[in-house]
């Protein structure tokens, strides 16, 4: 049985309503592009306005300055959001992850395109001994250099307090990690500190490089050696401590590991320090900001003259 036919008047009203909804979505996308509307504000508007609520998340992302189709696809994949999803179909966790992600990656419309441009996009690997502060340097870069695409690794380690799936790591069960290895989805992977497995997701990294992004992997030495085999023309940067004493102090000061784990990490660190000559460049982590600036300039990122 068919639906009752619309009257001419009803058809005109429906067409007008659809046209108004499309215009509202187009206006919202323009505002995102111009930086006058943030992602957070758009998500809030969508709770009141059905036209905005029907905007596809892919279109939302692609409206952001500096985010192309490939980057948008990557972001969706990293956040576990289907490409066809509309704003109103996002779950609470996905909405939070999206906003956090925008903040973490500093994809702020106001800053994304104007601060830094890349003159030599490609792959850079940052490795170094345990507790040298790789994580702190990469967090600083994530928060201050919006044009660096920092890879999010998969790991079997459980999340620490405050860590979010898809933002800090993709947290996987051992079985899920096995499946990634079997499917050839990891560019490299390693057991770190004899405990958990960590690996780089090949497809997201390849897509970001294809998108012209400056990609940074912050991984352990074993992983760096694997990347050297797979991508010999990548840039390899060794992050070194100012001194051994300082490194011990940082390791013990972190306080997130047991005494046994600390001892294990120190043993690993001694071996890792000897690997410096395998790298193209060494950056001394005497000051996080200075080290991050040096790394970013080694990656070919320069202040945008515009």
| Residue of 302, 42, 265 lying closest to 134 (CA atoms) | 265
Q: How far is the CB of 86 from ligand 5GP (least distance, A)?
A: 32
CA–CA distances in Å: residue 261 to residues 192, 194, 252, 269: 11, 10, 10, 12
Contact flags string 89-128 toward ligand 5GP, x per CB under 6 A: ----------------------------------------
Nearer to ligand 5GP, 219 or 291 (CB): 219
Output the six-digit token pair for 123: 């792959």
One residue of 140, 177, 198, 279 binding ligand 5GP per CB under 6 A: 198
One residue of 218, 234, 291, 301 binding ligand 5GP per CB under 6 A: 218
Nearer to ligand 5GP, 129 or 146 (CB): 129
As a whole number of angstroms, the distance between CA 137 and CA 224 comes to 17
**199 belongs to the binding site for ligand 5GP (CB under 6 A):** yes
**77 belongs to the binding site for ligand 5GP (CB under 6 A):** no
| Alpha helices for 89-173 (secondary structure H) | 92-104, 134-144
**134 belongs to the binding site for ligand 5GP (CB under 6 A):** yes
As a whole number of angstroms, the distance between CA 299 and CA 304 comes to 14
**190 belongs to the binding site for ligand 5GP (CB under 6 A):** yes
Kind of pairing between the strands at 154-155 and 170-171: parallel
Binding part of the chain for ligand 5GP, among 98-106, 111-119, 195-203, 233-241 by CB under 6 A, reads 195-203
| Alpha helices for the chain (secondary structure H) | 8-34, 39-46, 50-53, 57-62, 69-79, 92-104, 134-144, 174-182, 202-210, 221-230, 244-254, 259-273, 288-298
Contact 214, 148 (CB under 8 A): yes
Q: How far is the CB of 47 from ligand 5GP (least distance, A)?
A: 35
Q: How far is the CB of 140 from ligand 5GP (least distance, A)?
A: 15
Q: Which residues bind ligand 5GP (CB under 6 A)?
A: 134, 153, 157, 188, 190, 192, 198-200, 218-220, 222-223
């Amino acid at each position: 049985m068919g639906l009752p036919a619309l009257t001419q008047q009803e058809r005109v009203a429906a067409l007008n309503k659809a046209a108004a909804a499309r215009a509202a979505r187009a206006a919202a996308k323009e505002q995102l592009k111009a930086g006058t509307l943030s992602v957070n504000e758009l998500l809030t508007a969508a709770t009141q306005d059905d036209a905005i609520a029907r905007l596809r998340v892919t279109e939302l992302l692609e409206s952001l300055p500096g985010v192309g189709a490939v980057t948008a696809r990557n972001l969706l994949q990293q956040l576990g959001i289907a490409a066809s999803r509309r704003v109103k179909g996002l779950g609470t966790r996905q909405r939070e992850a999206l906003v956090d992600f925008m903040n973490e990656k500093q994809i702020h419309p106001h800053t994304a395109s104007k601060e830094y441009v890349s003159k030599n996009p490609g792959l850079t690997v940052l490795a170094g001994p345990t507790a040298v502060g790789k994580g702190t340097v990469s967090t600083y870069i994530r928060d201050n250099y919006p044009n660096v695409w920092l890879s999010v690794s998969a790991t079997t380690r459980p999340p620490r307090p405050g860590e979010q799936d898809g933002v800090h790591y993709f947290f996987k069960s051992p079985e899920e990690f096995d499946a990634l290895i079997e499917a050839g989805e990891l560019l490299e992977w390693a057991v770190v500190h004899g405990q958990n497995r960590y690996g780089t997701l090949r497809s997201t990294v390849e897509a970001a490089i294809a998108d012209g992004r400056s990609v940074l992997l912050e991984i352990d030495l074993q992983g760096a050696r694997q990347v050297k085999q797979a991508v010999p023309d990548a840039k390899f940067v060794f992050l070194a401590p100012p001194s051994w004493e300082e490194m011990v102090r940082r390791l013990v000061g972190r306080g997130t590991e047991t005494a046994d784990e600390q001892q294990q990490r120190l043993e690993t660190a001694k071996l890792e320090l000897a690997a410096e000559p395998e790298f193209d460049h060494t950056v001394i982590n005497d000051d996080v900001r200075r080290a991050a600036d040096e790394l970013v300039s080694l990656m070919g990122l320069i202040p945008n003259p515009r």
